[in-house]
Amino acid sequence: MIPMSEEAIVEAVGKISKSVVNIASVRMVQDQIFRVFPVEGVGSGVIIDKDGYILTNYHVIDDAERLRVTLSDGRVFNGKVVGVDPPTDLAVIKIETKEEIPVAKLGDSSYLKVGQIVLAVGNPFGLTGGPTVTSGIVSSLNRGIQTENGTLELIQTDAAINPGNSGGPLVNTTGEVVAINTANMPYAQGIGFAVPIDTAKAILKELVERGRVRRPWIGITSMKITRSLARYYRLPVSEGALVIQIEPFSPADNAGMRKGDIIEEIDKNKVEEPAQISEYIHKKRIGNSITVTINRNGKLIQIPLQLEENSITYNR
């Protein structure tokens, strides 16, 4: 049991609970003999604006044909996807209403400390009686988790994130949203992850206005070089990022990078693994120029290239 006053927990839950919603989705799937039938899914979300904007996870609404949003007071609305960002597993949906709706207060995840008490809140079933709440602590900050869309920096918590709570808020003891619950690892009991709210705040404007987030890219896929990998393939170095794929007509392709090149530095910053490349480039803007130092067959080559907008599009 987390040692803190009951009054603090009750007050924090009271501040956030009314703004936590249930999101029911309907996806059309096809079986082995090509019959199409609907499959329902559930998740949570949090109201972030009086105009009806709701922040949730991308995987909660991905490929959904219909969305039904149930508020804590039982009101039900149709939801519309406004913007999605799979690299952060975040999405914004909207409900249309002229009625007053409760809005959550967004906090600042940069002030979080390991050991700080947090509450995971969700509304997985849309039942009366309000959302579900679990308590725990911040177990780790900036935990890099590899996803199909790249490396995602997450907050790790031991607050139980139950099925259907994805998309719900992780709040501090003052009831401010500090993260969005995004994943629970079924094979590791007591471990949950959440996207820092500062990550969400940085892209919310673009999600609402553009429906997506414009990010710079260079257009490569790479893997970390280990000593065993270097020995097996007789590579000239034992660390760095080995380029294993280059997207046609990407900045890397246009600059002359090749499959098999080893990235050792970017703008004189040492590269030991692919995650460092993504992290550095995401801090840049579209149109910025960088210099990549590669090792090609034992020869160091500096390749200047200009960052362009990532051309990958996602379902909405």
Q: 314 pLDDT exceeds 60?
A: no
- Is residue 314 in some structural domain? no
Please report whether residue 197 resides in a domain: yes
Express each pLDDT in 146-156 by its tens digit: 666 666 788 99
Residue at 265: amino acid letter: E
Does residue 303 fall inside a structural domain?
Answer: yes
- Claim to verify: residue 173 and residue 268 sit in the same structural domain: no
What is the signed CA dihedral for 231, 236, 240, 245, rounded to 10 degrees?
Answer: -90
Residue 157 has pLDDT above 50, yes or no: yes
Map residue 65 onto helix, strand or coil. Answer: coil
Q: Which tens digits make up the pLDDT trace of 281-304?
A: 888 889 999 999 999 999 999 999
The position carrying tokens 């065993």 is: 228
Burial class (CB in 10 A: 0-12, 13-18, 19+), 213: buried
- Domain-located, residue 122: yes
Contact 132, 22 (CB under 8 A): no
Identify whether residues 160 and 19 lie together within a single domain.
Answer: yes
Residue 315, domain member (yes or no): no
For residues 172 and 132, state if they share a domain.
yes
CATH number of the structural domain spanning residue 248: 2.30.42.10
Question: So what's the pLDDT on residue 1?
Answer: 47
What pLDDT is recorded for position 189? 58
Determine contact, residues 238/224, Cβ cutoff 8 Å. Answer: no
- Across the chain, mean pLDDT equals 86
Shared domain check, 227 and 205: no
As annotated, the active-site residues are 59, 89, 166
Residues 82 and 227 in one domain: no
Q: What is the per-residue pLDDT across 81-125, written as a single tens digit (0 to 9) for each? A: 999 998 889 999 999 999 999 999 999 999 999 999 999 999 876
Last residue of a domain, one of 213, 231, 251: 213
Among candidate residues 183, 213, 243, the one where a domain is terminated:
213
Burial of 314 (0-12, 13-18, 19+ CB in 10 A): middle
What pLDDT does 146 receive? Answer: 62
What is the number of domains present in the chain? Answer: 2
Same-domain pairing of 141 and 260: no
Task: Give the pLDDT score at 273.
Answer: 87
Q: Which structural domain, as residue segments, surrounds residue 52?
A: 1-97+104-213
Same domain, 85 and 29: yes
Q: Is the pLDDT of residue 9 over 50?
A: yes
CB atoms inside a 10 Å sphere around CB 102? 17
Domain of residue 158, CATH code: 2.40.10.120
Residue ending a domain, choose from 158, 178, 213: 213
- Give a yes or no: residue 173 inside a domain: yes
> Can you give the pLDDT at residue 100?
92
Give the residue ranges of DSSP H helices in the chain: 6-16, 58-61, 197-210, 227-233, 251-255, 274-282
Pair 165, 285 in one domain? no
Q: Tell me the helix, strand and coil percentages in the chain, rounded to 5.
A: 20, 40, 40
Rg (CA), the chain: 22
Identify whether residues 62 and 207 lie together within a single domain: yes
Q: Are residues 162 and 297 in the same domain?
A: no
Q: What is the DSSP string of 50-99?
A: TTSEEEEEHHHHTT-SEEEEE-TTS-EEEEEEEEEEGGGTEEEEEE--SS
CA distance 310 to 201: 20
Asked whether the predicted pLDDT for residue 128 surpasses 80, the reply is no
pLDDT in tens, 41-83: 788 999 999 999 999 999 899 888 889 999 988 899 999 999 9
**Residue 85 DSSP code:** E
What pLDDT is stored for residue 33 in this prediction?
Answer: 66
